[in-house]
Amino acid sequence: MSIPHHPVVRTDRGPVLGAVHGAGLCFLGIPYAKAPVGALRFAAPEPPEPWAEPLDATAYGPTAQRRPFAEVTTIPEPTFPGAGILNLNVFTPEADPSAGLPVLVWIHGGGYVAGCSASPWYDGAAFNRDGVVLVSIGYRLGIEGFLHLDDAPDNRGVLDWIAALTWVRDNIAAFGGDPAKVTLAGQSAGGGAVQTLLATPAAKGLFRAAISVSGAVMQPQDAAVGRAVAELFTARTGLPATAQALRDRSDEDLLAYQDAMSAPGPDGEEPLLLLAPFADGELVPAPVMNALTTGDASAEIPLLLGFTAHEFNAMPFPDAPEEAALGLLGSLGLDPSAAGSFLASHPSLTTPQRMAQAITDATFRAPALAIAESRATRLRPTWLYEFAWTSKAPDVAGSSFHCLDLPFAFDLLSAEGVLEAAGPNPPQALADAVHAAWVRFVRSLDPGPDWPPYTLTDRATRVWDTTPRTEPDHLAPIRDVWLRQR
């Protein structure tokens, strides 16, 4: 069918005006909730007011990110000012209500304090080419999204994710998607969001499959931890942890408060994830890892998950004796025997390199493997991978670091920033393979015959490298060290 130059689609709140994008269409910055300002700044999201005239959806909307995660980030994620940060983007092959195409909903990463949905790495063109509708969403970050406040609902960022998924359920058919064929996906904090929503009953029925890419959640994560973070906020800022005290503070003030919370203090440095989803006992009933490994949360949902080989291995640690590594390993939950096994399994690494590998394993690799192991015990549909291809870029050559896999999954090797991350001439054949597996999973809930489910029989693991392969029990060393005490 021919594509109109200025396509208009009617949502349940009003019409939106999109644009031609490659071989498909894009509708950018569509509000799925009212702007979280004034009394709504720390409230549950509310549906936007209806509008009558077509809303211009030809440019990305405001971002919750008010500054990047760091001065230089791997993923280019711009900051756009404005109050209406609860918006989403739709990339579709055709806005035909009868098309019934599968849908991929993408949640960006950024440590729950940064990132945005407007990155060129999240462009939906390749998915559209392959018959998949892509939706990318923004959500409240940091203090606004995740700090426990005595007079506001907890986990406001989680409520935002659910509101966006509800919008997809109610509106995606008008954009050519099938609301019964939604796969939820995300990377880093977005991967943790996927895991969190698997453990959140209020999200049940809003997606039929899930992809968690390098997912990370706060650990420990119970309600006491959420309250402790609020107490830390008050101790570091002198302000009560209440919406009333914070509602009229500027964005710059909130960023300064976040900096104060994460700065080294008399009790040492704070953990990697401080402002993040936690088990409040209501919306998120139990810690996510408990729900997914000892419980049976979302057992019926097909889950594809994995990580890169070296995630945070570039994290700088000062030169230190082996005792420092043993201390870190103990703080990460390893007993002396397991810690000794970990050190012995990395004989060629320096002590700082071993400490960085330990952070990678404890934050990403071991939790994902634990989820796969638990689901395999219950015969739940699960597929596990490791992205092992290493960058050829000068500053990171030889590393398969955090975020490197995303341009391959989205088949966007020519996007801005990929050359700096991957180096010259990254293998298109690998992008073809990773992207095709994702498309098959979104379409049919199975990534293909060359990637069997993870079971306790052979623990099949897809290894994404120059020549992709499936290996039995590829991650045995991780299981033997990090999961022996589970």
Catalytic residue among 117, 136, 188, 214: 188
Q: Which residues of 441-454 are buried (b: 16+ CB within 10 A; e: fewer)?
A: bbeebbbeeebbbb
Strands 303-308 and 19-21: unpaired
Respond yes or no: is residue 148 known to be catalytic.
no
Catalytic residue among 77, 94, 311, 386: 311
DSSP state letter for 19: E
Query: What tokens were used for 208?
Result: 């039929």
Respond yes or no: is residue 188 known to be catalytic.
yes
Using CB atoms within 10 A of its CB, is residue 242 exposed (0-12), middle (13-18) or buried (19+)? Answer: middle
**Strands (DSSP E) along 114-255, which ranges?**
133-137, 177-187, 209-213
412: Cα within 13 Å, side-chain hemisphere: 23
Distance CA(190)–CA(168), nearest Å, equals 17
Give the DSSP H or E segment for 256.
helix 251-262
Respond yes or no: is residue 337 known to be catalytic.
no
Please tell me the chain's helix, strand, coil percentages from 3-state DSSP, rounded to the nearest 5.
Answer: 35, 15, 50
Q: How far is CA 153 from CA 39, 147, 160, 343, in A?
A: 13, 10, 12, 43
Contacts of 203 (CB under 8 A, 6+ apart): 161, 162, 165, 197
Catalytic residue among 21, 148, 310, 402: 402
Phi and psi at residue 37, to the nearest 5°: -130, 160
Distance CA(171)–CA(417), nearest Å, equals 33
Strands 460-464 and 101-107: unpaired
Using CB atoms within 10 A of its CB, is residue 213 exposed (0-12), middle (13-18) or buried (19+)? Answer: buried
* Residues recognised as catalytic: 188, 311, 402
